[in-house]
Amino acid sequence: MIFFRDNAPPIEDYDKTLNELIDLGWIQKIYNIEMNKSIYDMTSLGYQYYFAICMKVGYTQMFDGPTLTEGQTTAYINEDIDLVEEGYIIDGIDSAKLTPIAAEYLYVLTDAHGKEVKVKKQKNNQQKNSSTASKIGVGMMKFMKGIQQASKVAQEYDKNSTVATRNAWVEDKKGACPNCNSINSPKSKFCIKCGNSLKGKDKGSSRKRERRKSRRKK
- For residues 24 and 105, state if they share a domain: yes
- Check residues 125 and 26 and name the one with the higher pLDDT: 26
65 CB neighbour count, 10 Å cutoff = 21
Residue 127 lies in a domain: no
Residue 7 lies in a domain: yes
- For residues 87 and 180, state if they share a domain: no
Residue 67 lies in a domain: yes
- For residues 12 and 99, state if they share a domain: yes
Residue 196 lies in a domain: yes
- For residues 101 and 25, state if they share a domain: yes
What b/e readout covers 106-128, taking b as 16+ CB neighbours within 10 angstroms? bbbbbbbbeeeeeeeeeeeeeee
Q: What is the pLDDT of residue 215?
A: 62
Residue ending a domain, choose from 93, 112, 131: 112
What b/e readout covers 95-104, taking b as 16+ CB neighbours within 10 angstroms? ebebbeebbb
Phi, psi of 155 (to 5 degrees): -65, -40
Residue 94 lies in a domain: yes
Question: In percent, how much of the chain has pLDDT > 90?
Answer: 30
Mind listing the pLDDT tens digit for each residue in 20-56?
999 999 999 999 998 899 999 999 999 999 999 988 8
Residue ending a domain, choose from 87, 112, 137: 112
H or E, element range at 124: helix 123-171
For the ranges 84-93, 114-123, 173-182, 208-217, the one whose mean pLDDT is highest: 84-93
Length of the chain: 218
Residue 149 lies in a domain: no
Distance of CA 184 to the CA centre of its chain: 63
- Does the pLDDT at position 100 exceed 80? yes
- How many domains in the chain? 2
Residue 184 lies in a domain: yes
Q: Which amino acid is at 182?
A: S
Q: Does the pTM of the predicted model rise above 0.85?
A: no
- Does the pLDDT at position 76 exceed 70? yes
Distance CA 27, CA 22 (A): 5
Which residues form the domain of 177? 166-218
Residue ending a domain, choose from 112, 146, 176: 112
Average pLDDT of the chain is 77
Residue 189 lies in a domain: yes
- Does the pLDDT at position 187 exceed 80? no
